A and B are shown apart, each in its own frame.
Chain A
Amino acid sequence: MEITKLTTIQKDVLKEIGNIGAGNAATSMSELLNKKIDMQVPTVNVVDFDEMMDMIGGHEQVITALFFRIQGEAPGTVYFILSIEEAKNLVEEITNQNGCGLLGEEFDEMAVSALQEAGNILTSSYLSALSDFTNLNMQPSIPYLSIDMAGAILTAGLVELSQVTDYAIIINTRINYLDSKDGIQGNFFFIPDPHSFQKIYQSLGLHNHE
């Protein structure tokens, strides 16, 4: 299957997947923070690897990312991406403490742990919604946290994919919590492995996609 050519219906299916997953994740986040969370309409993009980095501010943009490898019938990679500021705000909301450190010398174990747990809750709810919708078994690995340049972090999730193609299909959904002074906006990047697309389409009754 040539992944660079998506039919409208295929694109819609992937959007719906992003919608359902992030919808559930937003609900979880809302419960976690006891705040109102909004989400944006998902986008589905076929991008080359350089364009993928540009989607979140360029190769050198320092980001906080939680990486999950998905095992099961439709393997792939999920990233939950926040800017450093957003990650700090999220930790502060969860722990009710101000001034947590995520970079360099002020690196704070508690903050990292809180972030991992939040990421775990959000991604699990994202995936369980997906799994229910598609009837495919999908299990996330434990969360891996990294705070570094976007290029360095995101290529780690491209190893499987890049053996097959030079493009990635990214199902991107943003969830926002804009009540606080600075706000928190998280990006879910779902990057299915190449052969997972067929599984996803089939599970939803789309057969004419060869």
Chain B
Amino acid sequence: MNKTQTVIKVGIADVNLVKKPENIRTSGLGSCVGVVVYDAKAGLAGLAHILLPDSSMARQKDINIYKYADTALPYLIDSLIKKGASPDRLKAKMAGGAQMFQFSSQSNMMRIGPRNIEAVRGILHEYHIPVVAHDVGGNAGRTIEFDTNMNKLKIRKINEKEFLI
């Protein structure tokens, strides 16, 4: 393809939206979860790079709402609807939630990947948004890019070939 593809980047604990034909991408997901919520018909997609499961863990006054699953996802969904997405058409794809180090202790802090996955699933369920594809868990970092033309999520890991979900 010779056309230049615009790719919008999402940082750590960050949320961004794109409109077709722009792609949206986030790099180096470890225990973090990357969630794409999209309305294929409206050509709208948003990506949240979630660091922690629950804002009740916060011990700071002004929380960064993009950081927690329970605050970032409602913001992402509201923003998509404000831009013209239909709540009934929203679908989600998610990736990440790996356990980067094989800790022997099973403390909550060390289980952050699985907890992020559970939290994201719970909130999407509350909003009746189906998770149509996912690649979660494991112990490898991921870079993900959502293609708004195909509505596919491209996943890259260091020891594997790129694949689409």
Interface, chain A (partner B; CB < 8 A):
49-50, 53, 58-60, 62, 67, 103-104, 142, 144, 146-156, 158-160, 162-166
The B interface is mostly helix, strand or loop, or mixed, namely loop
Tell whether, in the assembled complex, residue A153 and residue B30 are in contact, meaning their CB atoms are under 8 Å apart: yes
Residues of chain A contacted by B104 (CB below 8 angstroms): 142
Chain A residue nearest to B159 (CB atoms) is A104
Measured between beta carbons, the chain A residues less than 8 angstroms from B31 are 152, 155-156, 159
Q: Which residues of B contact A156 (CB under 8 A)?
A: 30-31, 100-101, 112
Docked Cα-Cα span, A60 to B9, in Å, equals 13
- A197 to nearest B CB, angstroms? 15
Given contacts A60-B143, A144-B102, A155-B12, contact A149 B112 (CB under 8 A): no
Chain A residues, Cβ within 8 Å of B29: 151-152
Known: A104-B159, A162-B52, A164-B59. A148 touches B30 (CB 8 A): yes
Are B58's CB and A151's CB within 8 A?
Answer: no
Sample of 4 further A-B pairs with CB below 8 A, known A152-B30, A152-B98: A49-B13, A103-B159, A146-B101, A153-B141
Bound-state Cα–Cα, A42 to B52, Å: 31
Q: Are A163 and B52 in contact (CB under 8 A)?
A: yes
Contact in complex: A103, B158 (CB < 8 Å): yes
Is B27 touching A151 in the complex (CB atoms < 8 A)?
Answer: yes
Would you list 19 pairs from A and B whose C-beta atoms are within 8 A, ordered by A residue? A49-B11, A49-B12, A49-B51, A50-B14, A59-B143, A62-B158, A67-B101, A104-B159, A144-B103, A148-B141, A149-B27, A150-B28, A152-B29, A152-B100, A155-B51, A162-B13, A163-B58, A163-B59, A163-B60
Enumerate chain A residues within 8 angstroms of B98, measured Cβ to Cβ: 152
Residue B140 at the chain A interface, CB threshold 8 Å: yes
How far apart sit A156 and B102, CA to CA, in the bound complex (Å)?
11
Q: How far is the CA of A163 from the CA of B13 in the complex (A)?
A: 12
The distance from the CB of B2 to the nearest CB of chain A, in whole angstroms, is 24
Interchain pairs with CB closer than 8 A, number: 95
Residues in chain B within 8 A of chain A (CB atoms): 11-14, 27-32, 51-52, 57-60, 64, 67, 98, 100-104, 109, 112, 140-143, 158-159
Give the distance in Å from the alpha carbon of A154 to the alpha carbon of B27 in the complex.
Answer: 12
Please, which residue of chain A has its CB at the minimum distance from the CB of B26? A59
Nearest-CB distance from A60 to chain B (Å)? 5
Looking at A62, A152, A162, A164, the one whose CB has the most chain B CB atoms below 10 A away is A152
A163–B53 alpha-carbon span in the complex (Å)? 11
Residues of the B chain whose Cβ atoms lie less than 8 Å from the Cβ of A152: 28-32, 98, 100, 140-142
Does B52 lie within 8 Å of A149, measured CB to CB?
no
B67 touches A162 (CB 8 A): yes
A165 to B67, CA, bound (A): 11
Complex partner residue of B141 from A104, A142, A149, CB under 8 angstroms:
A149
Question: Which residues of the partner chain B approach A60 to less than 8 Å between Cβ atoms?
Answer: 27-28, 143
